[in-house]
Structure 1
Amino acid sequence: MSTKSVPRRLPRRPASSLSERWTVVDGVDVFYRESPTPPDAPAMMHVHGFGLSGRYLLPTAERLADEFHTLVPDLPGFGRSGKVPGGLDIPDLARDAARFLDDRGIETVTLVGNSMGCPVILEFAHHYPERIDRAVLVSPAGGAYNRPLRRAVGQLTRDGGREPPRMMRVATPDYLRFGVPSTFKMFSALTSYPSLERLLELRIPTLVVIGDRDPLLPGPDRVREVAAATDNHVLVVRIEGAAHAINFSHPGELAHIIRLFMADRPIVDDPASPGHASLYEIHRGRHLPSTD
């Protein structure tokens, strides 16, 4: 009597090298990822964009996890975390970020945001200035340049064709889970938020990273003009060939830039990545360490 061999079931590949965990913050289930880095390492939290979870931030976050106590939460209302009735605006999300850090016992942190995550960081710095060491704003979104909604949809459509195809496999489930009603509400909150006013208030070292193929951002002249008005504490770096989701599409280059910024070192191309996208400064505040 012959028996058929049963194929071995391979273990499920972990979604991330970071630990996946749950906690409860103000009665809401919050899903997050956390590095096993010793707790005395500097804390760094990555803040996701519009309608998305923290999943697409992992390629960059994982590259920095050996040096920083790394956290990547899904903010309430996004991803796998629970929803909060009426909680979808920038001040609410900044408060949620602070409450999450309270839950994790973290007093001060460097915040790394992409897209909508950047206004959340600006609002966090506005209300909790003593709790943020540095800010990293990657592809900041919001404001008049993204209004009205049909214009933003067109920008997102163009951006979709410039991102790696695998980004859609990550983003689509998140967008579907987020839903249409939440999209309209969050878009209104995001585009009416005073991002420029908050940026001008910042008094901490701030890194802004943009891509030269990002249709959601104004041109480099406008970016340079805004940066020059920020009392010389802002460093702006541009990555050639990058669109909006830099944390996903160019994680090696972005992690390299962040390491240099955190160490107050000049921004130069990564010699370990020849042939990859070039990066260069387009503005450096005089109060930041010089490249000379």
Structure 2
Amino acid sequence: MSPIGWQEREVTVGERPVFVRLGPEVPGTVPIVHVHGFGVSGVSLMPTAELLADRWTTFVPDLPGHGRSVGWGPGLDIPAIAHGLLGLLDELELERVVLLGNSMGSPVILEVAHEARDRVAGAVLVSPAGGVHNQPLARALRQLGRDAVRENPRMATIVVPDYVRFGLPSTFRLFRELTRFPSLERLLRTPVPTLAVIGTRDPLMPPPWRVREVGRLAPDHVTVVVIEGAAHVVNFSHPAELAHVVASWLDGVEIVDDPEAPGVSRVLRLPRGGRDPAVR
């Protein structure tokens, strides 16, 4: 059942179906499109999406081949999914959007930003996995196992049916492709304003020294924020903290802890050219 004020639609993209959830229209805003991770659906993104939907027109699709967007075949890779996402933006008549992704959603967003930068007003990369820290594949699988016990137990009721529906062979193949994607390196070359959000308990993310290095090397249009206590699926486990960080960034104000929920999880913005002693 959709939240109050939300709608559900099936859009045809290249003669194939894409299921999308639409929040209430907020006139005069740049829409936010939420982009989920490998093998799952957009349901895990809804806790954060609902909080942001009060101020921005919000869309939460099931990416091609995922969730209720079936019929795309077994051979989807990250560039193909990104191409499908661009097709969805066309069908929804969304000329310019903010893309907010978790896990594999981050590489998909980076692909879209490099292919059609004029369409992306801003990119929010939450837990942008991929690259040498997740290699070889056996190491990434161990990281994924450690993360599973750190997530909110309610996540299992969402992701397990999604993985079964997507198919375990396809899930495994797409996860392997994710581990090969150099997300942090591509982040440093992103052509659009970008916010990267990383949880301190996320085993799929690089060690703190590497996160600090990325924060120092990031160009002026890239902001790196760390949320203490969060694991990989920040959109589901820490929606209020994430929504506060995203809203602050979109509003162009300083990113600090949410004054309405002090002590829930500390937000750290990594300064460029210096060391944040709280991140170790």
* Smaller-chain TM-score bracket: over 0.9
Q: Which range moved further: 116-125 or 204-213?
A: 204-213
Query: Structure 1 residue aligned with 2:224, among 236, 249, 252?
Result: 236
In the other structure, the counterpart of 1:72 is 60
In the other structure, the counterpart of 1:103 is 91
In the other structure, the counterpart of 2:51 is 63
In the other structure, the counterpart of 1:115 is 103
Distance in 2 of aligned mates of 1:156 and 1:114:
14
In the other structure, the counterpart of 2:180 is 192
Which TM-score applies when normalising by structure 1? 0.88
Distance in 1 of aligned mates of 2:98 and 2:220:
19
Query: Structure 1 residue aligned with 2:235, among 247, 254, 257?
Result: 247
Q: Does 1:216 align with 2:211?
A: no
In the other structure, the counterpart of 1:264 is 252
**Aligned partners of 1:16 and 1:58 also within 8 Å:** no
Distance in 2 of aligned mates of 1:214 and 1:197:
18
In the other structure, the counterpart of 2:16 is 28
In the other structure, the counterpart of 1:16 is 3
Distance in 2 of aligned mates of 1:264 and 1:213:
27
Distance in 2 of aligned mates of 1:285 and 1:129:
27
Distance in 2 of aligned mates of 1:75 and 1:250:
22
Distance in 2 of aligned mates of 1:267 and 1:135:
16
SS in 2 for 1:106: coil
Deviation, 1:285, is: 8.4
Query: Structure 1 residue aligned with 2:126, among 129, 134, 138?
Result: 138
Deviation, 1:145, is: 1.4
Distance in 2 of aligned mates of 1:274 and 1:200:
31
Identical aligned residues as a percent: 53
Q: Does 1:162 align with 2:162?
A: no
In the other structure, the counterpart of 2:277 is none
Query: Structure 2 residue aligned with 1:54, among 42, 58, 78?
Result: 42
Which TM-score applies when normalising by structure 2? 0.92
Distance 1:267 1:184, change over 3 A: same
Aligned ranges 1:1-12 → 2 under 5 Å: none
Distance in 1 of aligned mates of 2:151 and 2:183:
25
Deviation, 1:228, is: 2.7
Q: Which range moved further: 137-146 or 47-56?
A: 137-146
Deviation, 1:66, is: 1.5
**Aligned partners of 2:140 and 2:179 also within 8 Å:** no
Which digits, 9 at most, give the CA deviation of each residue in 1:108-136, with x for residues without a partner? 00100000000001110010011101111
**Aligned partners of 1:234 and 1:284 also within 8 Å:** no
Deviation, 1:137, is: 0.6
Q: Which range moved further: 41-50 or 228-237?
A: 228-237
In the other structure, the counterpart of 1:225 is 213
Structure 1 segments (4+ residues) deviating >3 Å: 283-286
In the other structure, the counterpart of 1:204 is 192
Q: Does 1:89 align with 2:77?
A: yes
Q: Which range moved further: 270-279 or 107-116?
A: 270-279
Deviation, 1:80, is: 1.0
In the other structure, the counterpart of 1:152 is 140
**Aligned partners of 2:135 and 2:180 also within 8 Å:** no
SS in 2 for 1:283: coil
Which digits, 9 at most, give the CA deviation of each residue in 1:63-114, with x for residues without a partner? 0112111000001111111132354211111111110010000010010000
The structure whose Rg is larger is 1
Size of the aligned set, in residue pairs, is: 273
* Aligned-CA RMSD value: 1.7
**Aligned partners of 1:142 and 1:191 also within 8 Å:** yes
